[in-house]
Structure 1
Amino acid sequence: MDIPTDAPTGLAMALDPLVTRVLAPNPSPFTYTGTQTYLVGTTAVAVIDPGPDDPEHIAALVGAIAGRKVVAILCTHTHRDHSPAAAPLKALTGAPIIGCAPLSLADAGPRADAAFDTGYAPDRVLADGESVTGPGWTLTAVATPGHTSNHLCFALAESGALFSGDHVMGWSTTVVAPPDGDMASYMRSLEVLMARAQDRIYFPAHGEPIERPHRFVRGLIGHRKQREGQILRLLKADVGAVPAMVERMYVGLDPRLNGAAGRSVLAHLIDLRDRGLVIEEGDSWKMAA
């Protein structure tokens, strides 16, 4: 997919009476037009996914905050395109860093551009169902492990919005990359969102708002089941190496994304193994007897 070159980086765009978006200048094949930071509130605000530690982006956030009190800096997870700006923003505003638990793993895989933020140090970790409040708004954590084991979404009760981080994105499917990414957890987390009738719109960290979220999530579940079916058919045809599977399953894929696609295939294979359907033999896989 081509990345738009006219994305409004650094501009504060009102999406909802309580929600403003500021796009970070970090476009890539993994982040699309960049990481979207959200400000929630009017007289006092929360900042969701402050983004990369980029002086230009931090200056844009300070401009959008416009002298208002920052009640909390919230992070959905600790990939490097989401949480590193939390520390400098805390230093500038005095706001506590709240949200996901710390998680830092060495990962030399194809998601190296979005490695874990080793400096993330929250003042408070939110458990599933816990909330942060400000004048006229309430943000409640919804645990959604899968993309990472520490991933949270945040539900804004007053507007029926869900800030979906990387769990549900508006431009692409989510990369689920072992060892921390877990396909079984990801699928369960999608079902958690399907059960949330109160969510009318998703504001993802990458891509446009999702205005029919339950239909969208249903499509994601169907897509993953389709991928699983492809893998099983390839194994039955004695195609057991992950690179060979990627070549057949992702025809026309940007070559820069081949490694990430392989990680998602591996996540499916691990899930199938744990369900007793396939077995691993060295660098290859086959159907269980």
Structure 2
Amino acid sequence: MAQHPTGVAMRLDPLVTRILAPNASAYTYTGTQSYLVGDTDVAVIDPGPDDPAHLAALTAAIDGRTVTAIVVTHHHRDHSPATRPLAAATGAPIVGPAPVSVSGEGGADAAFDANYAPDRVLADGEDVVGSGWTLTALATPGHTSNHLCFALPESGVLFSGDHVMGWATSVVSPPDGDMGAYMSSLERLMERDDRVYYPGHGDIVENPRRLVRGMLGHRKQREGQILRLLGHGESPLETMVARMYAGLDPRLMRAAERSVLAHLYDLRGRGMVAEEGETWRIAA
């Protein structure tokens, strides 16, 4: 990725400006990318973490213009916490997906922003409108059950959040993350003709269909890898992950484990594998 500094407003096209938050990590790459959409009035997409320096950078980029809406793709802590101080400062409504309550095995992990509270919940196909711009919500569950992408038809742009990133595939962590839903959402994007994706993390995606096709292929390869391993006999999750992700950065091993579990749950739902205590096997 071409490096750019945090806190600097970069115009990507006449309607879109990007500001990178200073929260680089093994999970966020160079950091969360917040976007301003519009000219005379603006929407702020994914204002990011509640970080004073990033809030100051967003405020400087807004430069006194009216903020029509603070838009959220999903309520992970690297995307939505800054909605609250930004709303307090601008008076703008917070709009985005409905909050989710996650229980069961895995639960709501530390990534979730438990205080996310939208003023307006967007359903698939609903619009947020400003002067010369429209953001249309596109339901893309999988990374989270409530994930939304946003199309900007005036520019041929899709803000892809964490559903499609420009540096790595998304983590799909049950119970809120769902591999079957994630694959279906990727298939839905394949039917579109967006010119470019502006993701939550990583490079601008300039050939969206090629990347999405590759992501679908990657996930199908992982599924095949799981079935081949189980074809040699039953196996616990940890053993499969260790064999499938040899050499992976240890900081990412937990994420890999969650994604393999998501594949296993999807395969179990399709009647292809079965769970017996701590082990998995090919279904009889």
Distance in 2 separating the partners of 1:224 and 1:239: 21
Q: For residues 94-243 of structure 1, what are the structure 2 equivalents within 5 Å?
A: 94-105=91-102, 115-197=111-193, 199-238=194-233, 240-243=235-238
Q: Quick check: 1:288 aligned with 2:283?
A: yes
In the alignment, the residues of structure 2 paired with residue 92 and residue 109 of structure 1 have an alpha-carbon distance, to the nearest angstrom, of: 35
CA–CA separation in structure 2 for the residues paired with 1:226 and 1:149:
23
- Aligned mates of 2:260, 2:147 — CA distance in 1: 20
Does the 8 Å contact 1:48/1:73 carry over to 2? Answer: yes
Alignment identity in percent? Answer: 69
Task: Report how far residue 245 of structure 1 moved.
Answer: 1.1
Partner of 1:20: 17
Distance in structure 1 (CA, Å) of the matches to 2:224 and 2:137? 33
The code of the aligned residue for 2:22 comes to P
SS in 2 for 1:189: helix
1:181/1:254 CA distance change after superposition, 3 Å: same
Asked if the contact 1:169–1:206 (Cα under 8 Å) also holds between the matched residues in 2, the reply is: yes
Aligned to 1:257: 252
- Answer whether contact 1:78 1:104 (CA < 8 A) is retained: no
Q: Is residue 244 from structure 1 mapped to residue 239 from structure 2 by the alignment?
A: yes
Q: Deviations over 1:109-152 (max 9, x none)?
A: 69955x21111111101100000111110000000000000100
Does structure 2 conserve the Cα–Cα contact (< 8 Å) formed by 1:23 and 1:35? Answer: yes
Residue 69 of structure 2 corresponds to residue 67 of structure 1:
no
- TM superposition shift of 1:251: 2.1
Q: Distance in 2 between matches of 1:110 and 1:77?
A: 16
Letter in 2 for 1:195: E
In the TM superposition, residue 64 of structure 1 has moved relative to its aligned partner by 0.5
Partner SS for 1:162 = strand
- Runs of at least 5 residues in structure 2 that lack an aligned partner in the other structure: none
Corresponding position of 2:6: 9
Aligned partner of residue 89 in structure 2, secondary structure = helix
1:59 & 1:111 partners in 2: Cα distance?
Answer: 30
Q: Distance in 2 between matches of 1:71 and 1:107?
A: 37
Contact 1:104 1:116 in 2 (8 A): no
In structure 2, give the amino acid aligned to 1:140. T
Q: Which residue of 2 aligns with 1:269?
A: 264
TM-fit CA distance, 1:105? 3.5
SS in 2 for 1:118: coil
Runs of 4+ in 1 over 2 A off after TM superposition: 103-113
Root mean square deviation, CA, Å? 1.8
8 A contact 1:105–1:116 mirrored in 2: no
Q: Could you say which residue in structure 2 is the equivalent of 1:92?
A: 89
Q: Secondary structure at the match of 1:235?
A: helix
CA distance in 1 between partners of 2:17 and 2:261 (Å): 37
